[in-house]
Structure 1
């Protein structure tokens, strides 16, 4: 079958190539999906540069897919042959077909198309679980850094719908414009410009951003660190807690840590989209032969929201 294969980590012009891969060999609890669309996450572009998963023999990217069940799971779990689904496999999804555990997929209603669905899994699941980690948000002030990506769009819309007053930090006003439409109360282009104090800080940039955001945290507040998009290490002076956010907490977040099954969260996201309560931001939709171009666009931050590729 055809699949997107990793190219040379040193080759920025050709990080992936379209080639041939072996057909998926599903376990008893896995369904084989004929892929119609997949999305590219920024984390996958970093792995293609030479991360741990990239070095593992046989690894291929692909965590967010939508398509049709071609072969149901042998153990009888999951949807039947021909069902339209969205899924979150651990890898290998940028291909004509992929095997996915049935606990990590859910069926799609007719009202949700494959392109929209493919934009949901990693970013949507991360947003749902991040907000659960933050706790009840009704009436609380929230600061979200690195807000213009796929996760940021979902967090903004869900947090605002939950009653939070959210300040979004985006590198440019243009990249952050959609966040105001989704319910953000305020948009700033630098974390240094926030006023605070905030009950909750959701931090995804790293470097100086985290320490600056920490200073805007209210006493007893919570900072949840869930990424390092700026790729710069964080240095903290813990004595700074006494200058403002006394008794505050810092928590590290990993969306896979609490539960490595994703079907229920995918079903929740699909219900929200079908009900008009969640609106995926699709920054670009292209044929999968253009995957390398899309990766270049994501690395250069020229794509706002989710990047989706259609197969066939």
Structure 2
């Protein structure tokens, strides 16, 4: 079968290559991939890929081989999945605790945008606790996580300030419930009860300076690729507060259950994935360049042709 694999130093970081078909474990299904989404974090991993690693964590498609232990969805079911790797391919093996079945009217190009960004946003909110009436600031809000986070937080009754690079990149966030758009953390009035910070560098310290007394700052990324800067003796913002480093994979709820929640919200019209562009999978290198250039709002999705009969 064909799959995108790291090139390690070529002009494009990936190449379409012939690889072995998946060899699923007892509790894994094989999914014929119809669509997958690309994430900014995967572009970083492509800079120095681990031996044997292939990119791809967000997929939607159809089960073509059921789990041999009898668990999970049967052959023929449409699913969204969150494999550990290898999803930019014609087929991928996915643990049954990382797949959720799709309703008939949910397209794979929409479902494929859910896993990494949607799970991160859902689990960020779970970490933060009840948000009704609370002032919330999120940085790097124009990406996939930001769009999901803003809509879910606003639905809880939070007053959300979203930091974006330009107003044009953030316009959809206002439609999803953001109270205001900011082009710099320092433009925010604050104080904010909760901050979700994904940029790192100097922005982390700037965000802390807008935190309310005994507020919570959840640090969930470092998109700037710059070391985080915090000065203990900078007493702007809350003199006391909680800084929590967040990893979306560290949770007690299986991916399958949280994916089912996201699917249910989308199917019910209460969550709206922001899919900026849909391309044939042979355009993946082009889309990765657009992602690195911050030209993608929300998610970009690639479609994989159905196998010939």
Measured after TM superposition, the shift of residue 58 of structure 1 is 1.2
1:7 aligned onto 2:1: no
1:239 aligned onto 2:233: yes
Number of corresponding residues? 305
Measured after TM superposition, the shift of residue 243 of structure 1 is 4.0
Structure 2 counterpart of 1:99, from 73, 93, 110: 93
Report what 2:15 is aligned to: 17
Measured after TM superposition, the shift of residue 260 of structure 1 is 7.7
Query: Matched residues in 1 for 2:206 and 2:12: separation?
Result: 37
1:118 aligned onto 2:116: no
Query: 1:197-256 CA distances to partner (integer Å, 9 max, x unpaired)?
Result: 00001100001111011011000100000000111111211123x443022110000001
Report what 2:79 is aligned to: 85
Query: Matched residues in 1 for 2:147 and 2:5: separation?
Result: 29
Question: Runs of 4+ in structure 1 displaced over 3 angstroms?
Answer: none
Report what 1:290 is aligned to: 283
Query: 1:146-187 CA distances to partner (integer Å, 9 max, x unpaired)?
Result: 000000000000000010000000000000111101000010
Measured after TM superposition, the shift of residue 259 of structure 1 is 3.9
Report what 1:42 is aligned to: 40
1:1-312 aligned within 5 A: 1-8=1-8, 10-11=9-10, 13-50=11-48, 54=49, 56-240=50-234, 242-259=235-252, 261-312=254-305
Query: Matched residues in 2 for 1:244 and 1:296: separation?
Result: 37
SS at match of 2:260: helix
SS at match of 1:18: strand
Query: Matched residues in 2 for 1:115 and 1:291: separation?
Result: 14
TM-score by length of structure 1 reads 0.96
* CA RMSD, Structure 1 to Structure 2 (Å): 1.0
Query: Matched residues in 2 for 1:251 and 1:175: separation?
Result: 27
Query: 1:69-89 CA distances to partner (integer Å, 9 max, x unpaired)?
Result: 000001111111100000000
Measured after TM superposition, the shift of residue 139 of structure 1 is 0.6
Measured after TM superposition, the shift of residue 192 of structure 1 is 1.3
